[in-house]
Structure 1
Amino acid sequence: MSPVAERVLLVDSYDSFTFNLAALCRKAAPDCCIHIIKNDQLSFQELLSYTDYFSAIIVGPGPGSPEKPEDIGAANHLWGVDDSRLVPTFGVCLGLQSLATQYGGKIKRLPVVKHGQVSVVEHTGGDIFEGVGIVKAVRYHSLHVELSGSEDLEELAWSFDDDEKTKITMALKHRKRPFWAVQYHPESVLTEGGGFEVMSNFWCLARSWNTARNRSPIPWDSKASSVFGSPWPNLRLPSISKHSTDSRTVLTTTLHLPDLQAVTICELLDVTNDKSPFVMLESAAGPGRYTIIGCLHASSPHITYTIGDDFLHLQQGKSCSRVPLESQDVWSWVADFMNQRKASGGLPNVPFWGGLVGYLSYEIGVEALSIPITAAGKQLRHPDMNLVFVDRSIVLDLEDGTIYLQSILEGDQKWLIDTTELLRSAAQEHSTPTIVAPSSLNARTSFSLPDGKTYQNRVSTCQEYLSSGDSYELCLTARTRITLRDLPLVPSETESPSWQRYKFLRELNPAPHAGYLRLHPTTLVSSSPERFLSYSRPPGATFQLRPIKGTVRKGPDVTRTVAEKELKGSPKEVAENLMIVDLIRHDLHGVVGEEVDVKQFCAVEEYSTVWQLVSVIEGKAGDEVDAPDSRWANGALGWECLKHSLPPGSMTGAPKKRSVEILRTLEDDERNVYSGVLGYWCVSGAGDWSVTIRSCFKYDGRYGCEHAPGAPPDDHDEEWVIGAGGAITALSEPEKEWEEMLIKLRSVLRVFGYSASREN
């Protein structure tokens, strides 16, 4: 008879580092099964009826305080069970505070908040610190415990704050019960010495305690499985059809026309006609390399969806259908849509062969977090998912001047021949695109910027939430609105003001992940510097995220050495980056499983106009998921990663869910297109999405699907929206945060003829 598999129960208090902790536990106890539940998923009595199935329990970190029942949930009572129901238990951060308060400890505020800060931790060298040397630990807390002197608890580790004046408990144990806990985060990427080593010791202590008392877990059964589900990692399959059409063949023509610019090509392809949809994702600056231009036609499928709806709109030519989602969510519907449109035979060095191009809003990520949300003012609201299927495309390789013409339409050689001739003729003319200054693009412009004092007051409010333990970092933003008056009621079909603004923006602020998307009713003009998520073609797909936190503008005296000193030498900048790195690791671990690594931490990278602090996180899925015949083989796993990583952590803060909830009380309106993502899902299974920042967008309901939400513009007026903000930490200064937001705003406002003298 085979022994009963050992299982660990991890109680998640809605933290953004939980899957990192699960990965650490799996590394320390490779043969155990890890089950994760939310702290409010079961009542304590319900939870207690299942604890005998587990060899150990971990009470994870989370926002808030153990003194608030809604923050700690059922986990708070695990420390007080009868002796007959004892299970070895390990607490982390909020878990330690919960243990301490159950045995007389008091919750206090730290003299100085420690979020993303590394401290040296001294310890006794025993119990969970047996054989452990120097510990440098990452701390995410603003609260700490003050022990009462009770004989029940013993301090195992501590650190000193406030210039060595204040001793802070960093670890403790119960003298008689199998309970241990640490205040710091052993799962953080920067924790050294007190992570894997401490978790391994806990697992050994837990197994020894169980063995000494002849305690073994109850065999797993259908009753437990119905409550706790499959152990982590458990990939969530979207409900996509098993049936798919035969793979299409990519037709490709290669040209070498190094002098032909993307802007010129777009103007050959009807970009100046505002009535027609158009998409371009441009690498307008290094380190970007490829520019993708969609060659849309009347039958190009256009998908729009608004949060809260149980349907989407699918437009092809003049036909616009309202498609019920029925038992699917919109993510599964799109995955099924792409499963019917696989393609092969494209050149392996070309990143995009065809597929979906467009944007996803910030709020669609909020919806995926299961936060109640309603789309206010739907009749004049940008769609939350706005994607067009591109079956003809032009891809420019800016590194060697090669241009790739591609089609996944059967028998489309004539289009390739005609387009080749068009591009060659244009290259022979050596024409230079005209850049129009903003003053000639409108008659009257008014600007409505956020109020400086209000924004600074909200920075202070954010810091109060940080001090109370509700968040570690909050990305506070605000919207600026630009109204253009006295514009022609019927726009010219040969001169697009929005396209002229994009050309001016790319000159002023060239960016590696720029874009011009005209997908009615939305026009988006973007000069984004930040890639969010990219995933390569399966099999062997790599999922990569590249968060940016920390920026210094270039100048004559700002060399790499100076930039590195200002960025890597700043505790604030490194802490901001670290928090997002740990959050992103959690998001990726939650989908692909154990294989997630930080390939680069806080490296200073050079861009056209700035130096930036960039980290790189990569993940891979198991071979059984990544096989060529897998249901994930067309990029559905990358799509699933995108779903579970939104909204971008760099635009929310951490923990993500609580931070989003707080920000919704501090910001006046929806972010919508801003701080979502724009990019593509290729028919080969690859994808690339950037964060929608340094961007502006407008609503125009005159064109597109007649049944979709929309309305004509108000007389001759046109309104553009720009979002901007910054990550607020305990080290932030309200006035400097306001100045930082204005700097980000100006990079886009200048295309509307804005002058800094207008600022309040």
Structure 2
Amino acid sequence: MSCPRILLIDSYDSFTFNLASLCKRAIPDCSIHIIKNDSLSVRELVPYLDYFSAVIIGPGPGSPDVAEDIGVVKDIWKISDDHLLPIFGVCLGLQSLAIESGAILKRLNVVKHGQIYEIMHNGVEIFKGVGQVLAVRYHSLHVDLQGTEDIEPLAWADDGDENGRVVMAVKHKSKPFWAVQYHPESVCTDGGGEEVLRNFWRLAKNWSSIRRPTVRAWKLSVEEKVGAAWPALSVNPDMSPAYGASSAEVHTRVITNPGLSLSRLCEALGASDESADFAILESAAEPGRFSIVGCLTETSPRITYRIGDSHIRIRTRAGCSTEDLGSRDIWTWLSSFMCAKRARGGSPEVPFWGGLVGFLSYELGVSSLTTSHRPLTPDKTSPHPDVNLVFIERSIVLDRTSGLVYVQSSKTSDDDWIEDTLTLLGKCVCTSADPTIPLTPTPRDDKVKLSPIVTLPNREQYISNIHRAKEHLYAGDSYELCLTAPTRVSVPKLDPHISRQVSSSWELYKVLRTRNPAPHSAYLRLHPSTFVSSSPERFLSYSRPPNSVFQLRPIKGTVRKAPGITRAVAEELLAGSVKEVAENLMIVDLIRHDLHGVIGDVVDVKQFCQVEEYKTVWQLVSVIEGQPSPDQQRFDLGWEVLRRSLPPGSMTGAPKKRSVEILNDLEDHDRGVYSGVFGYWDVGGAGDWSVTIRTCFKYEDRDDVHEHPADCDCAKSRNTNSVNDVWTMGAGGAITALSDPEAEWEEMIVKVESVLRAFEAVNA
């Protein structure tokens, strides 16, 4: 049987592409086509089964006895002998096969989400020649066999007093159906993954050689129904399929300036002027390396967009205009915009040559998730745009490792600006009053007291939501839910008659990044929004084609620094905790799925659950990397990965779509800027996007509304409170079946306090 075709039925899970990758390794030269479990009725699907060698029934949230959860899967076990073919089920797939064969579905007394167990098996069928199996389990339901069913067990797990003996694998007595309850595709499953799938394929070929010796020749009409083989990239018609030629040239001057004061440089470029836009992305701590200072001009275009709009807004200092999206979505429009801005010739070691800088909201990612249940985006109340980006042609990049400073421009003739900037850099050196590169707050008049008013989330409501979340986990709707809540800080504005006219938001950033330096800090004053961040978490970075490498660094697991909390203690509390490792593992598997979904097979976990030290906390961090094949390399591939990976899995839980639906019900607010991403897309095709956590943001009151058309963001929803600036910050945590509500509340407060202390210092 050459070049077999496999149909993988996806029940809206977040591990499906991991399973597809496992199948590709276990079944040589196979093509895999993936459909949702509700995309075709059984009547529509059955005729197409004749074109496939086997079917894989993937995992998914919910219950096999709920029609919306299981879709066509419940019917596929009953197809007639005329269309019968080998089927392998995973998790929900096993449960569906079992109950359709007469088994009883039950809840586990103690659910197993992201936990590793030894699987005992009898060494036959799909376990032939397989030794010890240590497998990851993601389930709260299980099947009980009485011995009268049409299936028989092949493997078990012993949960002792918690759940007793739990069925882990079955086979049908007369049909070519096999299934496992555990997840063979998880990165931490050892022995029960590729070996078991390889055995399934051996059994499938043996059965087919007798009962089904030929598979129908492939037709284009079939592909129109079930889609192209995975991975299949969508193509922007305005985008060259390859990285191709560029029209612009990046001009660069490199100097060594170890005494450069970043604080002085930013202030010399206008950071203290609250009325002007400003952008800096700073690597203020390891493992960050490069800091990017945007040098905005009068013509630098600001691009904003709100979900549901049919147009985007483009603003410069000269005015504001709109452009209809037409048949395109915002992602495709931005791809086309950047295609026209591509450039070459910058220093290859510098990740940013110029490009788009800014933030994308959580709801922008949510809006792209497909759903058959209900709308995923609530009525939006946040005044912030969902896309807020500025295109930067001039920039200064600091390399904290080498001490080199890069002055860059992609403007056609910018020699004078480069020379002037080099002169400016010579003046922005440290003095005895400003001895190091960290930014320091501007001293205030002692008579000015600007005490912030802090409104924390309601403790009882948050804990109640944790209990509600855990009920969803027990029911099998999710494995992990990242529950969040907003904190608001009201700060009296500076009175220019009694205090220096300095930017309070810039002062806040200087304090925040000094007290809580982070690898992904940012100060983005992109009116109407001001964004101050000390995020520790990289979401997605990618290098330039033609040798792009994609990296994600999810963080799950936090311990506050305190006397006696050494690295050894932190490692015991984090890496030694079943709960913390399970949280991290679930997101690692989800992220692998997201990356596999676009670039295909080559995705590796480079670091799993290692403890990293930050200024105020210890964190449990994993690192996932992927590399596309040569024929996939193209200028906008990173943008496509970003598009299909949002919102960040570490901020939703798994499976992502169902978790987002649940969180939409639990949280009585939209998240807006919080738990989206911020960063850049470089004109050479590179990008780096961080998760918007440890971040506060405000909606600006503008005094220059009359200068802009009424449909511009800067002229809408003005903050009428002229006395206080109101800042918002979000925080939360991953809720699992093992979560203690009181401890989760405390962890959330720890995250909030790392930002609140900056307000107290600025306004003391």
TM-score scaled by structure 1?
0.94
Question: 1:326-378: CA deviations, max 9, x gaps?
Answer: 11111111111111111112112212111111011100000111353557456
Letter in 2 for 1:13: S
Q: Which residue of 2 aligns with 1:223?
A: 221
**CA shift at 1:104, angstroms?**
1.1
Checking the alignment, whether the CA contact within 8 Å between 2:35 and 2:227 is kept in structure 1 is no
Structure-to-structure mapping, 1:111-510, within 5 angstroms = 111-163=109-161, 166-242=164-240, 246-370=246-370, 372-373=375-376, 376=379, 381-427=383-429, 432=434, 434-436=440-442, 443=450, 445-485=452-492, 488=495, 494-510=501-517
1:85 equivalent in alignment to 2:83: yes
Cα distance in 1 between the residues matched to 2:619 and 2:246 = 44
Cα distance in 2 between the residues matched to 1:518 and 1:132 = 58
**CA shift at 1:648, angstroms?**
0.4
Q: Which residue of 1 aligns with 2:686?
A: 686
Structure-to-structure mapping, 1:26-45, within 5 angstroms = 26-45=24-43
Cα distance in 2 between the residues matched to 1:267 and 1:519 = 16
The 1:127/1:434 distance shift into structure 2, 3 A limit, reads: closer
Q: Which residue of 2 aligns with 1:647?
A: 647
Letter in 2 for 1:397: D
Q: Which residue of 1 aligns with 2:717?
A: 711
**CA shift at 1:164, angstroms?**
7.5
Checking the alignment, whether the CA contact within 8 Å between 1:441 and 1:497 is kept in structure 2 is no
Letter in 2 for 1:700: E
Cα distance in 2 between the residues matched to 1:754 and 1:91 = 57
**CA shift at 1:319, angstroms?**
2.8
Checking the alignment, whether the CA contact within 8 Å between 2:376 and 2:664 is kept in structure 1 is no
Structure-to-structure mapping, 1:13-52, within 5 angstroms = 13-52=11-50
Checking the alignment, whether the CA contact within 8 Å between 2:246 and 2:344 is kept in structure 1 is no
Structure-to-structure mapping, 1:633-672, within 5 angstroms = 634=635, 636-672=636-672
**CA shift at 1:488, angstroms?**
5.0
Q: Which residue of 1 aligns with 2:741?
A: 734
Q: Secondary structure at the match of 2:71?
A: helix
Checking the alignment, whether the CA contact within 8 Å between 2:489 and 2:726 is kept in structure 1 is yes
Checking the alignment, whether the CA contact within 8 Å between 1:112 and 1:162 is kept in structure 2 is no
Letter in 2 for 1:261: S
**CA shift at 1:568, angstroms?**
1.1
Cα distance in 1 between the residues matched to 2:77 and 2:295 = 63
The 1:375/1:469 distance shift into structure 2, 3 A limit, reads: closer
Cα distance in 2 between the residues matched to 1:245 and 1:125 = 57
Cα distance in 1 between the residues matched to 2:245 and 2:197 = 48
Cα distance in 2 between the residues matched to 1:428 and 1:505 = 20
Please report the RMSD computed on the Cα atoms of aligned residues, expressed in angstroms.
2.2
Q: Which of 530, 542, 555 is residue 535 of structure 1 equivalent to?
A: 542
Checking the alignment, whether the CA contact within 8 Å between 2:599 and 2:627 is kept in structure 1 is yes
**CA shift at 1:440, angstroms?**
7.8
> Comparing 71-80 with 434-443, which one deviates more in the overlay?
434-443
Q: Secondary structure at the match of 1:49?
A: helix
**CA shift at 1:558, angstroms?**
2.8
Cα distance in 1 between the residues matched to 2:761 and 2:70 = 49
Q: Which residue of 1 aligns with 2:756?
A: 749
The 1:186/1:4 distance shift into structure 2, 3 A limit, reads: closer
The 1:59/1:253 distance shift into structure 2, 3 A limit, reads: same
Cα distance in 2 between the residues matched to 1:151 and 1:446 = 64
Checking the alignment, whether the CA contact within 8 Å between 1:58 and 1:89 is kept in structure 2 is yes
Cα distance in 2 between the residues matched to 1:374 and 1:60 = 26
Cα distance in 2 between the residues matched to 1:226 and 1:123 = 41
Q: Which residue of 2 aligns with 1:580?
A: 587
**CA shift at 1:553, angstroms?**
3.0
Checking the alignment, whether the CA contact within 8 Å between 1:444 and 1:486 is kept in structure 2 is no
**CA shift at 1:145, angstroms?**
0.4
Q: Which of 531, 541, 553 is residue 546 of structure 1 equivalent to?
A: 553
Cα distance in 1 between the residues matched to 2:452 and 2:587 = 38
Question: 1:410-432: CA deviations, max 9, x gaps?
Answer: 11010111111112123276652
Q: Secondary structure at the match of 2:259?
A: coil
The 1:498/1:193 distance shift into structure 2, 3 A limit, reads: same
Q: Secondary structure at the match of 1:618?
A: strand
Identity across the alignment (%):
55
Cα distance in 2 between the residues matched to 1:294 and 1:335 = 21
Aligned residues: 745
Tell me, which stretches of 5 or more residues in structure 1 are unaligned?
627-631, 756-760
Q: Which residue of 1 aligns with 2:729?
A: 722
Letter in 1 for 2:646: L
Q: Which of 619, 630, 636 is residue 623 of structure 1 equivalent to?
A: 630
Letter in 2 for 1:319: G
The 1:85/1:264 distance shift into structure 2, 3 A limit, reads: same
**CA shift at 1:147, angstroms?**
1.2
Q: Secondary structure at the match of 1:747?
A: helix
**CA shift at 1:447, angstroms?**
2.1
Cα distance in 2 between the residues matched to 1:491 and 1:149 = 84
Q: Which residue of 1 aligns with 2:599?
A: 592
**CA shift at 1:165, angstroms?**
6.3
**CA shift at 1:240, angstroms?**
2.6
Checking the alignment, whether the CA contact within 8 Å between 2:595 and 2:603 is kept in structure 1 is yes
Q: Secondary structure at the match of 2:72?
A: helix
Q: Secondary structure at the match of 1:97?
A: helix
Cα distance in 2 between the residues matched to 1:734 and 1:579 = 20
Question: 1:624-668: CA deviations, max 9, x gaps?
Answer: 122xxxxx2x3x000001011110000000000000000000111
The 1:428/1:264 distance shift into structure 2, 3 A limit, reads: closer
Cα distance in 2 between the residues matched to 1:245 and 1:542 = 20
Cα distance in 2 between the residues matched to 1:539 and 1:441 = 56
**CA shift at 1:284, angstroms?**
1.4
Letter in 1 for 2:467: S
**CA shift at 1:226, angstroms?**
1.1
Checking the alignment, whether the CA contact within 8 Å between 2:462 and 2:745 is kept in structure 1 is yes
Checking the alignment, whether the CA contact within 8 Å between 1:4 and 1:219 is kept in structure 2 is no
The 1:711/1:214 distance shift into structure 2, 3 A limit, reads: closer
Question: 1:174-205: CA deviations, max 9, x gaps?
Answer: 11111100000000000011100000111111
1:608 equivalent in alignment to 2:612: no
> Comparing 206-215 with 727-736, which one deviates more in the overlay?
206-215
**CA shift at 1:316, angstroms?**
2.5
Question: 1:550-588: CA deviations, max 9, x gaps?
Answer: 122334533322222221110011000100000000000
> Comparing 154-163 with 571-580, which one deviates more in the overlay?
154-163
Q: Secondary structure at the match of 1:80?
A: coil
Tell me, which stretches of 5 or more residues in structure 2 are unaligned?
none
The 1:162/1:701 distance shift into structure 2, 3 A limit, reads: farther
Checking the alignment, whether the CA contact within 8 Å between 2:451 and 2:760 is kept in structure 1 is no
Checking the alignment, whether the CA contact within 8 Å between 1:103 and 1:150 is kept in structure 2 is no
Checking the alignment, whether the CA contact within 8 Å between 1:259 and 1:430 is kept in structure 2 is no
Question: 1:206-247: CA deviations, max 9, x gaps?
Answer: 111111114422111122111012111112223334499843
Question: 1:705-749: CA deviations, max 9, x gaps?
Answer: 642242332141321101000000011000010011111111111
Checking the alignment, whether the CA contact within 8 Å between 2:440 and 2:514 is kept in structure 1 is no
TM-score scaled by structure 2?
0.94
Q: Which residue of 1 aligns with 2:673?
A: 673
Cα distance in 1 between the residues matched to 2:497 and 2:80 = 77
> Comparing 210-219 with 106-115, which one deviates more in the overlay?
210-219
Cα distance in 2 between the residues matched to 1:624 and 1:686 = 18
